[in-house]
Amino acid sequence: MPVAAAQRARRRSKRGTYAKSSETRERIFAAALAVAGKEGIHRASVAAIAKKAGVAIGNLHYHFGSRDELLDELMRWLVSGLLTEVRAAVDACDDFFSKDEAALRAYLAYVHRNPACTRLAEEVRLHHPKLYAETTAMWLAMFRDEIREGVVRGELRAMGEDEVAALAYFLLGARYFVDQMIEGAGGRDYPGDDVAVAAYVDLTRRGLSHTEARTR
C-alpha cells in the first residue's frame, strides 16, 4: 500500500497535526478489524464497518478511498504484525533452539492477545494472494536463515539446501493450527503454553524416536 500511505502522508502533512481525523481513521480501522474478525473479510461490508465505527459511510471512503484500500491496509497490518513480533523474539536469542522456542512463544503470545488475527491472516491468501505469497516468502526465508546459521554454528546436523527449504515449509506449517489448539473445543483441551512448547521443542530437537539416532 505504498500509494495509499503516501497519499495519507501527503494529506496530513498539508495541515500539520490533525488529531481528530486520525482518531476517526483509527476507529474505522479498528471497526474494520472487528467486523472482519467476526464475519470474515469478504463479508465485512462498508455499511457494517461504518456502523460499528459510528461514522457515515462516505467518511470511510474519505479516509481510505475505497473498501478495497481499507481492507488492503488491514491485511498488510495483519500479516506484518505477527511476523515483526516473532522476528524480534528470534533476534534476541543466540542459538537455534533458543530462537526456535522463542519464536513459538512469541507466536503463542500473539495468538493469546489477538485470537482472530491468525485466522484473518489466512484469509489474506484468498483476497490478496500476492501479499500472502510475499509474506510467506519472508517467513520461509527467516526459517531457512535460522536453519542455515544453526548448521554453521554446529548446532544442527549438516543438510543440503533442498532439505533446508523443505524443512522451512514444515516448520512454518507446524504453527498453523496453534490457534485452534488454543481455542478448539472451547479451549478445554489446551494443555497450556509450556506443554505445547515442550512438545514442539522435543519434536524439533530430538525427534519422536526414543532410539538412538542411527547414521543414515
Q: Are 77 and 38 in contact (CB under 8 A)?
A: no
Q: Which stretch binds a second copy (CB under 8 A): 5-13, 62-70, 78-86, 162-170?
A: 162-170
202 binds, among a second copy, DNA, none (CB under 5 to 8 A by kind): a second copy
In the chain, how long is the greatest CA-to-CA distance?
69
Of 188, 192, 103, the residue nearest 139 (C-alpha)? 103
Q: Are 72 and 4 in contact (CB under 8 A)?
A: yes
Q: Count how many residues are written for the chain.
A: 216
141 near a second copy, judged by CB under 8 A: no
For DNA (CB under 7 A), the number of binding residues is 30
Residues 6+ apart with CB under 8 A from 177: none
- Residues 36-42: contacts with CB under 8 Å, at least 24 apart: 36/71, 36/74, 36/120, 36/123, 37/116, 37/117, 37/119, 37/120, 38/116, 40/123, 41/71, 41/74, 41/75, 41/120, 41/123, 41/124, 41/126, 41/127, 42/123, 42/126, 42/127
Q: Give the Cα separation of 21 and 8 in Å (integer).
A: 11
User: Which residues in the 11-40 window bind DNA by CB under 7 A?
Assistant: 11-12, 14-18, 20-25
Minimum separation from the CB atom of position 67 to DNA (A): 3
- 26 or 194: whose CB is closer to a second copy? 194
Minimum separation from the CB atom of position 20 to DNA (A): 4
Minimum separation from the CB atom of position 215 to a second copy (A): 7
54 near a second copy, judged by CB under 8 A: no
Residue 216 in grid coordinates: 543414515
186 near a second copy, judged by CB under 8 A: no
196 near a second copy, judged by CB under 8 A: yes
- 24 or 114: whose CB is closer to DNA? 24
- 5 or 205: whose CB is closer to a second copy? 205
- 44 or 74: whose CB is closer to DNA? 44
Of 130, 111, 127, 128, the residue nearest 119 (C-alpha)? 111
Summarize as ranges the residues that interact with a second copy (CB under 8 A). Answer: 40, 42, 96, 119, 122-123, 125-126, 133, 136-137, 147, 150, 155-159, 162-163, 165-167, 169-178, 180-181, 184, 189, 191, 195-196, 198-200, 202-216
Residues that bind DNA (CB under 7 A): 11-12, 14-18, 20-25, 44-48, 55-59, 61-63, 65-68
